[in-house]
Chain A
Amino acid sequence: MLLSKAAIGSKVKVVSLESKGLLRRRMMDLGLIPDSEIEVIRESPLGDPRAYGIKGSQIALRREEASQIVVEVVN
Protein backbone atom coordinates (compact mmCIF):
# COMPACT_ATOMS: atom_id res chain seq x y z
CA MET A 1 0.00 0.00 0.00
CA LEU A 2 1.10 3.59 -0.53
CA LEU A 3 1.34 5.93 2.44
CA SER A 4 -0.89 8.43 0.63
CA LYS A 5 -3.70 5.85 0.71
CA ALA A 6 -3.41 4.87 4.38
CA ALA A 7 -6.49 5.75 6.44
CA ILE A 8 -6.50 8.62 8.93
CA GLY A 9 -5.79 7.23 12.39
CA SER A 10 -4.07 4.10 11.10
CA LYS A 11 -0.59 2.97 11.99
CA VAL A 12 1.68 1.72 9.27
CA LYS A 13 5.31 0.91 8.81
CA VAL A 14 7.66 1.69 5.95
CA VAL A 15 8.42 -1.12 3.54
CA SER A 16 10.40 0.81 0.93
CA LEU A 17 10.98 4.22 -0.59
CA GLU A 18 10.32 4.59 -4.30
CA SER A 19 11.72 8.08 -4.59
CA LYS A 20 15.22 8.65 -5.89
CA GLY A 21 18.01 11.14 -5.38
CA LEU A 22 17.50 14.14 -3.16
CA LEU A 23 13.84 13.50 -2.44
CA ARG A 24 14.76 10.05 -1.19
CA ARG A 25 17.49 11.54 0.97
CA ARG A 26 15.04 14.12 2.28
CA MET A 27 12.51 11.42 3.21
CA MET A 28 15.21 9.47 5.05
CA ASP A 29 16.28 12.59 6.96
CA LEU A 30 12.67 12.97 8.11
CA GLY A 31 12.96 9.50 9.65
CA LEU A 32 11.34 7.50 6.88
CA ILE A 33 13.48 4.41 6.67
CA PRO A 34 12.36 0.80 6.28
CA ASP A 35 10.56 -0.47 9.39
CA SER A 36 9.94 2.98 10.91
CA GLU A 37 6.40 3.36 12.16
CA ILE A 38 4.12 6.10 10.95
CA GLU A 39 0.83 7.27 12.36
CA VAL A 40 -1.53 8.97 9.94
CA ILE A 41 -2.69 11.87 12.11
CA ARG A 42 -4.94 14.10 10.02
CA GLU A 43 -5.38 15.82 6.71
CA SER A 44 -5.60 19.49 5.87
CA PRO A 45 -9.01 20.84 4.79
CA LEU A 46 -8.22 20.22 1.13
CA GLY A 47 -6.94 16.72 1.84
CA ASP A 48 -3.38 17.56 0.89
CA PRO A 49 -0.93 17.73 2.64
CA ARG A 50 -1.50 15.29 5.48
CA ALA A 51 0.19 15.23 8.87
CA TYR A 52 2.05 12.11 9.90
CA GLY A 53 3.60 11.18 13.23
CA ILE A 54 7.13 10.00 12.56
CA LYS A 55 9.61 9.22 15.32
CA GLY A 56 8.06 11.65 17.76
CA SER A 57 7.40 14.63 15.44
CA GLN A 58 4.50 15.65 13.27
CA ILE A 59 5.60 15.98 9.69
CA ALA A 60 3.47 17.26 6.82
CA LEU A 61 3.88 15.40 3.55
CA ARG A 62 2.29 16.21 0.22
CA ARG A 63 0.44 13.51 -1.64
CA GLU A 64 3.14 13.33 -4.31
CA GLU A 65 5.69 12.64 -1.57
CA ALA A 66 3.56 10.18 0.40
CA SER A 67 2.65 8.28 -2.76
CA GLN A 68 6.28 7.29 -3.18
CA ILE A 69 6.43 5.51 0.16
CA VAL A 70 5.35 1.89 0.30
CA VAL A 71 3.95 0.88 3.67
CA GLU A 72 2.09 -1.95 5.36
CA VAL A 73 -0.48 -1.74 8.13
CA VAL A 74 0.75 -2.80 11.56
CA ASN A 75 -1.61 -4.99 13.63
Chain B
Amino acid sequence: MGLTCESCSRGVLKKKFNLRCGEKFVIALAGNPNVGKSTVFNELTGLKQHTGNWPGKTVVNARGNYRYEDMEFVLMDLPGTYSLLASSVEEQVARDFICFGQPDVTIVVVDGTCLERNLNLVLQVMELTHNVVVCVNLIDEAERKGIFIDIKALEEELGVPVVGTIAREGVGLEELKRRVLNVALNIENLNPKKISYSKPVEDAIKGIEPEIDRILKGKLNSRWVALRLIDGDNTIVNSIYEHIYDKKTLEIEGEEVLVNA
Protein backbone atom coordinates (compact mmCIF):
# COMPACT_ATOMS: atom_id res chain seq x y z
CA MET B 1 0.00 0.00 0.00
CA GLY B 2 1.64 3.24 1.06
CA LEU B 3 0.48 6.73 0.45
CA THR B 4 1.37 9.18 -2.22
CA CYS B 5 0.66 12.87 -2.67
CA GLU B 6 -1.88 12.20 -5.37
CA SER B 7 -3.63 9.29 -3.77
CA CYS B 8 -4.52 10.81 -0.48
CA SER B 9 -5.76 14.02 0.99
CA ARG B 10 -3.00 13.92 3.55
CA GLY B 11 -0.46 14.75 0.87
CA VAL B 12 -0.79 18.45 1.40
CA LEU B 13 -0.42 18.12 5.13
CA LYS B 14 2.56 15.87 4.77
CA LYS B 15 4.13 18.51 2.60
CA LYS B 16 3.39 21.19 5.11
CA PHE B 17 5.11 19.23 7.83
CA ASN B 18 7.81 18.77 5.22
CA LEU B 19 7.62 15.01 5.25
CA ARG B 20 8.48 13.56 1.89
CA CYS B 21 5.57 12.00 0.15
CA GLY B 22 5.64 8.58 -1.42
CA GLU B 23 5.75 5.11 -0.03
CA LYS B 24 6.33 6.14 3.54
CA PHE B 25 4.24 5.82 6.61
CA VAL B 26 4.35 8.58 9.18
CA ILE B 27 4.40 7.35 12.77
CA ALA B 28 4.12 9.60 15.83
CA LEU B 29 5.60 8.65 19.20
CA ALA B 30 3.52 10.21 21.94
CA GLY B 31 3.37 9.65 25.69
CA ASN B 32 3.71 11.17 29.13
CA PRO B 33 7.09 12.71 30.05
CA ASN B 34 9.94 10.30 30.84
CA VAL B 35 8.29 7.05 29.76
CA GLY B 36 10.94 6.05 27.20
CA LYS B 37 9.69 7.58 23.94
CA SER B 38 13.15 8.70 22.86
CA THR B 39 14.58 5.32 23.86
CA VAL B 40 12.05 3.62 21.56
CA PHE B 41 12.89 6.20 18.89
CA ASN B 42 16.63 5.53 19.17
CA GLU B 43 16.18 1.76 19.12
CA LEU B 44 14.03 1.88 16.01
CA THR B 45 15.96 4.49 14.05
CA GLY B 46 19.52 3.97 15.27
CA LEU B 47 19.70 7.70 16.03
CA LYS B 48 20.66 9.33 19.30
CA GLN B 49 17.91 11.51 20.66
CA HIS B 50 18.55 12.84 24.18
CA THR B 51 17.43 10.41 26.83
CA GLY B 52 17.87 10.55 30.57
CA ASN B 53 16.01 10.04 33.76
CA TRP B 54 14.22 13.34 34.09
CA PRO B 55 11.12 14.61 32.34
CA GLY B 56 11.09 17.23 29.61
CA LYS B 57 14.23 16.28 27.66
CA THR B 58 12.56 16.29 24.30
CA VAL B 59 11.23 19.76 23.54
CA VAL B 60 10.81 19.75 19.77
CA ASN B 61 9.81 17.00 17.38
CA ALA B 62 12.70 14.85 16.19
CA ARG B 63 12.46 12.84 13.01
CA GLY B 64 14.04 9.56 12.02
CA ASN B 65 13.47 6.67 9.64
CA TYR B 66 13.31 2.94 9.88
CA ARG B 67 12.60 0.08 7.50
CA TYR B 68 10.41 -2.87 8.28
CA GLU B 69 9.16 -5.57 5.90
CA ASP B 70 10.60 -3.58 2.99
CA MET B 71 8.61 -0.52 3.88
CA GLU B 72 9.80 2.91 4.96
CA PHE B 73 8.59 4.55 8.11
CA VAL B 74 9.14 8.13 9.22
CA LEU B 75 9.13 8.25 13.01
CA MET B 76 8.46 11.47 14.92
CA ASP B 77 9.62 11.63 18.55
CA LEU B 78 7.34 14.11 20.33
CA PRO B 79 7.77 15.97 23.62
CA GLY B 80 6.15 14.32 26.62
CA THR B 81 2.63 15.40 27.44
CA TYR B 82 0.05 14.48 30.06
CA SER B 83 -2.84 15.35 27.83
CA LEU B 84 -3.84 16.74 24.47
CA LEU B 85 -4.73 19.96 26.18
CA ALA B 86 -1.95 22.27 25.12
CA SER B 87 -0.94 24.07 28.29
CA SER B 88 2.74 24.45 27.50
CA VAL B 89 4.76 24.96 24.32
CA GLU B 90 5.98 21.36 24.42
CA GLU B 91 2.48 20.06 24.82
CA GLN B 92 1.30 22.16 21.93
CA VAL B 93 4.11 20.85 19.71
CA ALA B 94 3.02 17.29 20.47
CA ARG B 95 -0.68 18.03 20.21
CA ASP B 96 -0.39 19.86 16.91
CA PHE B 97 1.59 17.06 15.32
CA ILE B 98 -0.84 14.38 16.42
CA CYS B 99 -3.77 16.50 15.21
CA PHE B 100 -2.47 18.15 12.08
CA GLY B 101 0.49 16.04 11.00
CA GLN B 102 -2.11 13.30 10.52
CA PRO B 103 0.27 10.44 11.22
CA ASP B 104 -0.70 7.06 9.78
CA VAL B 105 -0.21 5.58 13.23
CA THR B 106 0.27 7.14 16.67
CA ILE B 107 2.22 5.03 19.12
CA VAL B 108 1.38 6.01 22.70
CA VAL B 109 4.22 4.91 24.96
CA VAL B 110 3.02 4.33 28.52
CA ASP B 111 4.85 3.68 31.77
CA GLY B 112 4.09 0.16 33.02
CA THR B 113 4.80 1.22 36.61
CA CYS B 114 1.92 3.73 36.63
CA LEU B 115 -0.57 2.70 33.99
CA GLU B 116 -3.54 4.54 35.43
CA ARG B 117 -2.00 7.95 34.99
CA ASN B 118 -0.79 7.10 31.49
CA LEU B 119 -4.09 5.72 30.21
CA ASN B 120 -5.61 9.20 30.34
CA LEU B 121 -3.52 10.22 27.33
CA VAL B 122 -4.21 6.90 25.57
CA LEU B 123 -7.95 7.52 25.79
CA GLN B 124 -7.54 11.12 24.65
CA VAL B 125 -5.54 10.08 21.59
CA MET B 126 -8.08 7.34 20.85
CA GLU B 127 -10.83 9.96 20.83
CA LEU B 128 -8.93 11.77 18.11
CA THR B 129 -7.81 8.87 15.93
CA HIS B 130 -8.38 5.14 15.78
CA ASN B 131 -4.94 4.40 14.41
CA VAL B 132 -3.27 3.87 17.74
CA VAL B 133 -0.80 1.32 19.08
CA VAL B 134 -0.14 1.30 22.81
CA CYS B 135 3.40 0.47 23.87
CA VAL B 136 3.55 -0.52 27.54
CA ASN B 137 7.18 0.23 28.33
CA LEU B 138 9.31 -0.22 31.46
CA ILE B 139 7.88 -3.71 31.94
CA ASP B 140 11.11 -4.61 33.79
CA GLU B 141 10.67 -1.76 36.26
CA ALA B 142 7.04 -2.71 36.76
CA GLU B 143 7.94 -6.31 37.53
CA ARG B 144 10.56 -5.14 39.98
CA LYS B 145 7.73 -3.38 41.77
CA GLY B 146 5.58 -6.50 41.67
CA ILE B 147 3.33 -5.19 38.91
CA PHE B 148 2.48 -7.71 36.18
CA ILE B 149 0.44 -6.31 33.32
CA ASP B 150 -2.08 -8.41 31.46
CA ILE B 151 -1.33 -7.09 27.98
CA LYS B 152 -4.00 -9.21 26.34
CA ALA B 153 -6.73 -8.00 28.69
CA LEU B 154 -5.66 -4.39 28.17
CA GLU B 155 -5.80 -4.89 24.43
CA GLU B 156 -9.31 -6.29 24.64
CA GLU B 157 -10.41 -3.48 26.91
CA LEU B 158 -9.00 -0.71 24.70
CA GLY B 159 -9.72 -2.34 21.33
CA VAL B 160 -6.36 -1.30 19.84
CA PRO B 161 -3.05 -3.22 19.70
CA VAL B 162 -1.07 -3.23 22.93
CA VAL B 163 2.57 -4.34 23.06
CA GLY B 164 4.74 -4.82 26.15
CA THR B 165 8.34 -3.56 25.83
CA ILE B 166 11.61 -3.03 27.62
CA ALA B 167 12.84 -0.41 25.18
CA ARG B 168 16.26 -0.01 26.73
CA GLU B 169 16.99 -3.67 26.00
CA GLY B 170 15.14 -3.80 22.70
CA VAL B 171 12.61 -6.27 24.08
CA GLY B 172 9.23 -6.23 22.30
CA LEU B 173 10.23 -3.82 19.54
CA GLU B 174 9.82 -6.37 16.71
CA GLU B 175 6.27 -6.93 17.85
CA LEU B 176 5.79 -3.15 18.09
CA LYS B 177 6.96 -2.69 14.48
CA ARG B 178 4.68 -5.48 13.33
CA ARG B 179 1.57 -4.09 14.98
CA VAL B 180 2.37 -0.56 13.74
CA LEU B 181 2.63 -1.90 10.20
CA ASN B 182 -0.66 -3.74 10.63
CA VAL B 183 -2.44 -0.60 11.73
CA ALA B 184 -0.83 1.45 8.96
CA LEU B 185 -2.03 -1.13 6.42
CA ASN B 186 -5.44 -1.24 8.05
CA ILE B 187 -5.28 -4.99 8.66
CA GLU B 188 -5.66 -4.97 12.45
CA ASN B 189 -9.07 -5.74 13.82
CA LEU B 190 -9.58 -2.43 15.57
CA ASN B 191 -12.52 -1.94 17.85
CA PRO B 192 -11.48 1.18 19.74
CA LYS B 193 -13.28 1.78 23.00
CA LYS B 194 -15.75 4.58 22.50
CA ILE B 195 -16.08 7.07 25.31
CA SER B 196 -19.55 8.44 25.87
CA TYR B 197 -20.35 11.39 28.06
CA SER B 198 -23.39 12.43 30.04
CA LYS B 199 -26.51 13.36 28.11
CA PRO B 200 -26.05 17.15 28.36
CA VAL B 201 -22.54 16.82 26.96
CA GLU B 202 -23.59 14.43 24.20
CA ASP B 203 -26.45 16.78 23.29
CA ALA B 204 -24.06 19.71 23.17
CA ILE B 205 -21.76 17.75 20.88
CA LYS B 206 -24.64 16.91 18.55
CA GLY B 207 -25.63 20.56 18.47
CA ILE B 208 -22.30 21.91 17.26
CA GLU B 209 -20.74 18.99 15.41
CA PRO B 210 -22.30 19.60 11.95
CA GLU B 211 -21.08 23.20 11.86
CA ILE B 212 -17.63 22.18 13.07
CA ASP B 213 -17.48 19.50 10.42
CA ARG B 214 -18.12 22.09 7.75
CA ILE B 215 -15.29 24.28 9.05
CA LEU B 216 -12.84 21.41 9.39
CA LYS B 217 -13.38 20.20 5.84
CA GLY B 218 -12.98 16.63 7.06
CA LYS B 219 -9.39 17.22 8.13
CA LEU B 220 -9.87 16.61 11.81
CA ASN B 221 -12.27 14.59 13.95
CA SER B 222 -15.21 16.92 14.57
CA ARG B 223 -16.42 15.12 17.71
CA TRP B 224 -13.01 15.62 19.25
CA VAL B 225 -12.95 19.33 18.35
CA ALA B 226 -16.48 19.71 19.76
CA LEU B 227 -15.26 18.26 23.04
CA ARG B 228 -12.32 20.67 23.16
CA LEU B 229 -14.63 23.63 22.61
CA ILE B 230 -16.88 22.37 25.39
CA ASP B 231 -13.72 22.17 27.53
CA GLY B 232 -13.14 25.84 26.72
CA ASP B 233 -9.82 25.13 25.01
CA ASN B 234 -9.40 28.06 22.64
CA THR B 235 -5.87 27.09 21.62
CA ILE B 236 -7.43 24.48 19.35
CA VAL B 237 -9.27 27.22 17.45
CA ASN B 238 -6.00 28.99 16.71
CA SER B 239 -4.31 25.75 15.74
CA ILE B 240 -7.15 24.85 13.37
CA TYR B 241 -6.98 28.27 11.81
CA GLU B 242 -3.22 28.07 11.44
CA HIS B 243 -2.98 24.53 10.14
CA ILE B 244 -6.15 23.95 8.17
CA TYR B 245 -6.39 27.46 6.78
CA ASP B 246 -2.73 27.37 5.92
CA LYS B 247 -1.04 30.15 7.80
CA LYS B 248 1.54 28.27 9.80
CA THR B 249 4.27 26.19 8.28
CA LEU B 250 6.45 23.73 10.08
CA GLU B 251 9.95 23.22 8.82
CA ILE B 252 12.51 20.54 9.22
CA GLU B 253 16.09 21.51 9.84
CA GLY B 254 18.44 18.61 10.13
CA GLU B 255 16.78 16.00 12.25
CA GLU B 256 14.55 18.45 13.99
CA VAL B 257 11.21 19.92 13.16
CA LEU B 258 10.98 23.46 14.39
CA VAL B 259 7.70 25.18 14.85
CA ASN B 260 7.72 28.74 13.59
CA ALA B 261 5.46 30.56 15.92
Q: Which residues of A contact B (CB under 8 A)?
A: 21-22, 25-26, 29-31, 54-57
Q: Is the CB of B120 within 8 A of A29?
A: yes
Q: Smallest CB–CB gap between A65 and chain B, Å?
A: 11
With an 8 A cutoff between CB atoms, is B117 at the interface?
Answer: yes
Q: Give A33's nearest chain B residue, CB to CB.
A: B120
Which label, helix, strand, loop or mixed, suits the secondary structure of the B interface? loop
Which label, helix, strand, loop or mixed, suits the secondary structure of the A interface? mixed
In the complex, which residues of chain A have a beta carbon less than 8 angstroms from the beta carbon of B87? 22, 26
In the complex, which residues of chain B have a beta carbon less than 8 angstroms from the beta carbon of A55? 114, 116-117
Q: Smallest CB–CB gap between A67 and chain B, Å?
A: 18
In the complex, which residues of chain A have a beta carbon less than 8 angstroms from the beta carbon of B85? 22, 25-26, 29
In the complex, which residues of chain B have a beta carbon less than 8 angstroms from the beta carbon of A25? 83, 85, 231-233
Q: Is the CB of A56 within 8 A of B232?
A: no
In the complex, which residues of chain A have a beta carbon less than 8 angstroms from the beta carbon of B32? 57
Q: Which residues of B contact A (CB under 8 A)?
A: 32-33, 82-83, 85, 87, 111, 113-114, 116-117, 120, 231-233
Q: Is the CB of A56 within 8 A of B111?
A: yes
Instruction: Give CA–CA (A21, B233) in the complex, Å.
Output: 8
Tell whether A31 pairs with B231 under 8 Å between CB atoms, given A22-B85, A56-B113, A57-B114: no
In the complex, which residues of chain A have a beta carbon less than 8 angstroms from the beta carbon of B33? 57
Contact of A22 (CB < 8 Å), options: B113, B120, B232: B232
